[in-house]
Structure 1
Amino acid sequence: MSLVHRLTLGDVLGEHRRSRPLGTAVVDGDLRLTWPELDARVNRLAGALAADGVTAGARVLWLGRNSFRVLELLLACSRLGAIFCPANWRQTADELAHVLTDLAPAVVVWEESEAVEKARGQVTPDARWVESGEEYESWAAAAEPTDPDADVSPDSPVLALYTGAFDGRPHAALLSDSALVAHSMALLHIRQMEDGFTFLACGPLFHVGTMMFTLATFQLGGTIVVTPAFEPAEVCRLIERERVTQAFLFGPMIDALVQANKDRAYDLSSLRFVSHSPEWDEMITVDDSPWCASGMGGYGQTEVGGMLTFLGLGMGGRGTAGRPSPLTQVRILDASGAEVPPGEVGEICARGGSVFCGYWNRPELNAAKTAGGWHHTGDLGRREPDGTITFIGPKLRMIKSANENIYPAEVERALKTHPAIADAAVIGVPDERFGQSPKAIVVLKDGASATPEEIVEHVRTEIASYKKPRYVEFADEIPKRGFTPDYDALDERYGGGAYPGS
């Protein structure tokens, strides 16, 4: 790619330095950086990283809470063509040791914690370890504030985020500069972000939900306010002091802010956010952008930079996940890779500007995930007749009954709409006539009652009749593996088996 057509995150920073010399880029505690000051720090940091052997493709790992240093490390890696990973510092020592071994970083920037120190002792100490704080500042300050001006392709990976352990271990999804820029532009459009936008990063920056808004604010040239963790009174104080426009918040966090501000000690009116409750709505400015007016969200995952579809592009539509980002394509495909007609369930597959580069050091998985030229999300969905998308649930496995494909996630979704059901899982059991038949394992709500016949009839009214469970068993709980049912345990306990390909 010609340099004339290049646009990396480092390039965006360089433009902001010139175009917004007086603008505030980052606020973290008492620290306030203008765009030129951030640019100079990033250049020094790039020099320090390069002196410790960080070249194109090398990995840099952050193990710590939210900090402005997460952003400047990402930008320094962008200028070097390196890969930056902010890992979940809340993990156990064994989990962190896996990340260290898997990623094999050249440099680790860390905050003191028992788990991090224990993990460090479990791996071969090949990396340069720099403790965040005074050591970090002196390490970076020793380098010159000169742009390395490396020949970096915007299509090479720059950000690694560890995501779901769908096969028993987490994988680092790699996102390029161009993918992050593309996703930011789509989010800017749906959120209707304007000059002066200020985002409070009070959610974890190792999570794509916080990172995507941080980077969209960066792309716009707005102000990023960082706080180490969510603390309700401190978040209220920052919203008032910095006149924050948007923050990473969801239901329980909002409720905590309402409680912290019940005496109206803080002015939260600058916050333009989604309606939540009468008390909340009185404190803030209810926003009418498509993002907020639709209730926020859609369908997304780390591998697409955050959001693949937006509710804001499908308001009033039948689909529960809206329509695709303007910079992506979505197809609902069957097991053979053929597109299924509207109304039929298949795997959500995508390609386009914000789709990731693959997983770090997982060639076989990457080949499977990109079969046929599409990113296979591993999630089930349905395109409705009006073109909107409905997210069904994780694909995980399939039941084959009388030559019909039945996905447990779809049946589970239908089961959970029954007013008496608290939780449910579906397995396939051997059937002499049909090969397999679906069996529902159901947990009833406290004090509720329902018969197997009532449950089966309910599902029949929600989805195609052939997908309804043939058997229903009641249980006290559904065993889980993470957030999803532990299907292996369910099979063993309730007689599952005869799956396709087994």
Structure 2
Amino acid sequence: MIHSLSLSDVLAEHARSRPGTTAVVDGELRLTYPELDVRVSRLADALAGRGVGGGDRVVWLGQNSHAVLELLLACSRLGAVFCPANWRQSADELRFVLQDLGPAVVVWEPSDAVGALDRDGGWVRAGADYEELVAGGSVREFPQVADAEPVLALYTAAFDGRPNAALLSSAALVAHATSLLVVRQMEPGFTFLNNGPLFHVGTMMFCLATLQIGGTNVFTPAFDPEEVCRLVDAERVTQAFLFGPMIDAVVKANAGGKYDLSSLRFVAASDEWNAMITVDDSPWCRSKMGGYGQTEVGGMLTFLGLAEGGAGYAGRPSPLAQVRIMGPDDVEVPAGEVGEICARGKTLFSGYFARPDLNAEKLRNGWHHTGDLGRREPDGTITFIGPRLRMIKSGAENVYPAEVERALKSHPAVADAAVIGVPDPAWHQAVKAVVALREGAAATAEELVEHVRGQVAAYKRPREVAFVEEIPKRGFTPDYDALDAAHGGGNYPGSPSA
């Protein structure tokens, strides 16, 4: 397998090529790459002793820790699959994850939710018990594992009521990390603060890109603005998982300049923030970290940093992926038309764990169908519209609710909006908007319809507008079934009444 390069292989090479580089910092624990490599070998051997082999699952139930990276790398060494579960979930949600994955080993930290679970066999408590597990393993050679084998499972948002574990291979993760470190212009010495949740691809992708470039991963259990300031100062952190409100919290925590944050090379924000850090000039930071992504593509599918000044809000695709905008018939639509964002390439996932029907639907015809809508602009860039979910058929035209919802929500008086299709004797369906206004704001139906004129085609504009206090949700998206029942929706393509 001379063309294979797994995460385990990346670590093994760094252990030889960067013997003096700090790989991990977690509290008082500091590990060079050779030291991390030894611990990962011992952990892999110990897990194998507990019956973990190719394709078996290992779950982490806890906050951020060096153990997350070690377990992932150990699973790569064994050909197993590692899942950092969302520790913020309820006991019932965690119970579903464990029943779904059937892990051979679970490493856990105490919490109310975990305390309500049955911990029968295969459970290792983080801390002293975990360290005992690592120490009990032996350093030995392991058979080569193909980089196409899944190594990381990340659960996606439960848009349809049940989450699914997206499986990412070493090949996909290495490819994505390489694309990201190029756009981010990472250099030797890059230090990343893992303060965002590692069960989320947004933090994990930077953790792995930092590993890929041979940088330093600093771990802290969760976001705490004072601790972020301290660690940035103490470890000369290059980048952290930060956005909007988190940046404001860090500025407040560092009022008076108690900590030196100048090593942080990051996106420009407020004047106070800019004075504390070094505003970075990489394409990633100049573009405000923009683009389109999801767990199934390893993180980012398109980068705004590859299309500065372009027409599309999501930029251009990663150099290791292809994007097509497909219609309902899975044929590419012309530039300027809205369709489903579909992708293939080196960074794509391997499918969902134990979901054969879903995989057949989502990966049909050799393309991953993201479930999101987009548009190819005349200059070749991509605009992300929103979730596809369902389609309205008005005459011979297809109307995607997300496109109209986006236009409606750009009105300053609109707090939230959803769009449904209602039966129409002449046009099969007509577009109806359900709108929740901001507190104290006012707008008429006519005003809102006029507002979307020019943003969407005439056949996509709402014929009716209903005002409500709140849009019902299912997960993060509108509950369209509830909206149909309350506001007369129906007659959708493919439905019994159509």
- 1:218-229 matches, cutoff 5 A: 218-229=211-222
Contact between 2:302 and 2:316, CA under 8 Å: does it hold in 1?
Answer: yes
Q: Please point out which of 37, 43, 65 is paired with 2:63.
A: 65
Q: Is the 8 Å Cα contact of residues 198 and 243 (structure 1) preserved in structure 2?
A: yes
Aligned counterparts, 1:171-320, within 5 A: 171-320=164-313
* Residues 16, 35 of structure 1: 8 Å contact kept: yes
The aligned length equals: 495
1:412-464 deviations in Å (ceiling 9; x for gaps): 00111122212111011111111111100111223322221121122122111
Distance 2:141 2:380 in 1: 46
Q: Is the 8 A contact 1:65 1:89 kept in 2?
A: yes
| Residue in structure 1 matching 2:6, options 5, 8, 26 | 8
- Whether the aligned pair in 1 keeps the contact of 2:159 and 2:474 (CA below 8 Å) is no
Structure 2-normalised TM-score? 0.98
| Conserved 8 A contact 1:40-1:146 | no
Q: Which of these residues, 425, 433, 439, is aligned with residue 432 of structure 2?
A: 439
1:95 to 69, 93, 102: 93
Q: Offset of 1:297 from its aligned partner?
A: 2.5
2:122 aligns with one of 128, 134, 155: 128
Partner of 1:479: 472
**For structure 2, which runs of at least 5 residues remain unmatched after alignment?**
none
Map 1:330-409 onto structure 2 (within 5 A).
Answer: 330-409=323-402
Give 1:164 deviation, angstroms: 1.4
- Cα offsets for 1:288-307 (capped at 9, x unmatched): 00000011120000000000
Q: How far apart are the structure 1 equivalents of 2:290 and 2:208?
A: 17
**Which residue identity is paired with 1:385?**
P
Deviations 1:460-480 (A, max 9, x none): 221111100011111111111
1:367 is displaced (CA, Å) by: 0.5
Structure 2 counterpart of 1:461, one-letter code: G
1:146 aligns with 2:144: no
Contact kept, 8 Å, 1:328 with 1:354, in 2: the verdict is: yes
Runs of 4+ displaced beyond 6 Å:
none
Distance 2:467 2:337 in 1: 29
Question: How far apart, CA to CA, are the structure 2 residues paired with 1:428 and 1:116?
Answer: 43
Counterpart of 2:451 in structure 1 is 458
1:54 lines up with 2:52 in the alignment = yes
- Partner Cα distance (1:418, 1:140) in 2: 56
1:21 aligns to 2:14 (yes or no): no
In the aligned structure 1, how far is the partner of 2:245 from the partner of 2:294?
21
Map Cα deviations across residues 82-139 of structure 1 (whole Å, 9 max, x no partner). 0000000110000000000000000000011221121226xxx4x5100011111112
Structure 2 distance, partners of 1:98, 1:318, is 43
Describe the SS at the equivalent of 2:348. coil
Supply the AA of the counterpart residue of 2:22. T
Describe the superposition over 1:367-417 as per-residue Cα deviations: whole angstroms up to 9, x where unpaired: 101111100000000000011100000000110111211000000001111
DSSP 3-state at the match of 1:358? coil
* Alignment check: 8 A CA contact 1:424 1:442 kept: yes
Does the Cα contact within 8 Å between 2:159 and 2:477 map onto a contact in 1? no
| 2:159–2:475 Cα contact (<8 Å) kept | no
Say if 2:36 is the partner of 1:38.
Answer: yes
Instruction: Give the conservation status (yes or no) of the 8 Å contact 1:74–1:159.
Output: yes
Within 2, Cα distance between the matches of 1:261 and 1:460?
Answer: 46
Q: Give the CA deviation at 1:174.
A: 0.2
Larger CA deviation: 158-167 vs 190-199:
158-167
In structure 1, what residue type is equivalent to 2:341?
Answer: I
Question: In the alignment, is the contact (CA less than 8 A) between 1:62 and 1:87 conserved in 2?
Answer: yes
* In structure 2, distance between residues paired with 1:204 and 1:351: 27
Q: Does 1:112 align with 2:102?
A: no
* Corresponding position of 2:409: 416
RMSD: 0.9
Rounded Cα–Cα distance in structure 1 between residues aligned with 2:439 and 2:67:
48
Q: Is the 8 A contact 1:297 1:307 kept in 2?
A: no
- CA shift at 1:319, angstroms? 0.4
| Whole-angstrom CA distance in 1 between matches of 2:55 and 2:63 | 25
Partners of 2:128 and 2:390 in 1: CA distance: 50
Q: What is the identity, as a one-letter code, of the residue corresponding to 2:417? A: A
Report the 3-state secondary structure (helix = DSSP H, G, I; strand = E; otherwise coil) of the residue aligned with 2:433.
Answer: strand
What is the TM-score with the length of structure 1 in the denominator? 0.98
Percentage of matched positions with identical amino acids: 70
**SS of alignment partner, residue 116 of structure 2:** helix
Please list every run of 5 or more consecutive structure 1 residues that lacks an aligned counterpart in the other structure.
none
Measure the CA separation in 1 of the matches of 2:8 and 2:269.
37
Distance 2:331 2:455 in 1: 25
| Higher mean C-alpha displacement, 395-404 vs 451-460 | 451-460
| Cα drift, residue 227 of structure 1 | 0.3
What do the CA deviations read for 1:183-218 (whole angstroms, capped 9, x no partner)? 000001100000100000000000000000000000
Greater Cα offset, 452-461 or 395-404: 452-461
Q: Return the offset for 1:36.
A: 0.6
Shift in Å, 1:238: 0.2
